[in-house]
Amino acid sequence: MTGSAGQNQPDPSGVSSAAELAAAAKSLMKGLGVTGVELATRTNLATGTVSELINGKTFPREATFEVFVTDGCGQEWEPWRQAWSRAQRDVLSQRPVGELAIELEQLRERVEELEQVLQQTLQETRERRQADARQERELEQQQAAREAGAQFLAWVGAPQFRRITPAYPSKESAVSIQEVDEFLGRVHELACRSLEELQLYLWTHSGTFGEAGGFFSQGSWRPSPGYVEADVKGYRSRLLTAVMRHFGPRDAAAHSAWAERADASRHPLRNDAHLNDHV
């Protein structure tokens, strides 16, 4: 196929109306021996679209006509683009002003709708980016807190509690393994989340654990499994000392407030009596 008008091909320079454009398109297909089905296959246009175009039933969009001319008929686009532009001007000149005004208003409304959609999309994108940034900062803070907590616990040292069992009895007091393990789990959780929360927890913790107890067997008292109380209290004391060293003497009044909160939680009745003294 050639890019210029041949003996059996129409000259696009002579097209100036929609009817002439349709006739030229039909003549172009006929001169090339291309059927509507073949052209539709080449261009991915619907056969109905091709039929309406060449029969002048609808005026084609520029993109549709370009595909028709270039992909379907193998012609150079520029002379046919000029033909399409002239035909479009002719179509517009014949339309009533009122109809054009209505179409213009519809287009304006559509543009406003698209602008609103665009603004909403941009806002959602900004909010999503801000949320992602916040989440990233939170993850970084959590990671930093976990690392700081792990370093703190490593500095304190791992708890080493002697166990009292029926097989290895002792005269030393024993405390509940379950309660101590729960305490250790809470310490680890808070240390890896916030050392300040750990400080509050240690200050407000009573420092006491349930006795391990025991049972009689073959006429003698057998202790239930438990940790040596002195070992547990020693570790808790190390934790408190390490926390105070970590934060340092930031504010004596603040430490006093911590102590008062801890004392109030451990001795609520005494605290109430103290308040009653001031009534």
**What would the pLDDT profile of 160-176 be if each residue is shown by its tens digit?**
999 888 776 677 888 99
How many domains, in total, are found in the chain? 2
The per-residue pLDDT for 31 is 93
Residues 6 or more apart whose CB falls under 8 angstroms from that of 150 comprise: 191, 192
At 179, phi and psi to the nearest 5?
A: -65, -40
Mean pLDDT of 23-41: 95
The CATH number of the domain holding residue 31 is 1.10.260
**What would the pLDDT profile of 105-120 be if each residue is shown by its tens digit?**
888 899 999 999 999 9
pTM listed for this prediction:
0.47
Beta strands in the chain, from DSSP E residues, in sequence order: 163-164, 174-175, 214-217, 220-223, 226-228
User: Containing domain of residue 268, as a range?
Assistant: 143-276
79 and 178 in a single domain? The answer is no
The per-residue pLDDT for 248 is 75
In a domain, 257, yes or no: yes
270 and 166 in a single domain? The answer is yes
24: number of Cβ within 10 Å:
22
Cβ proximity of 228 and 164 under 8 Å? yes
Cβ proximity of 9 and 32 under 8 Å? yes
In a domain, 71, yes or no: yes
- Give the domain-ending residue among 94, 113, 130: 94
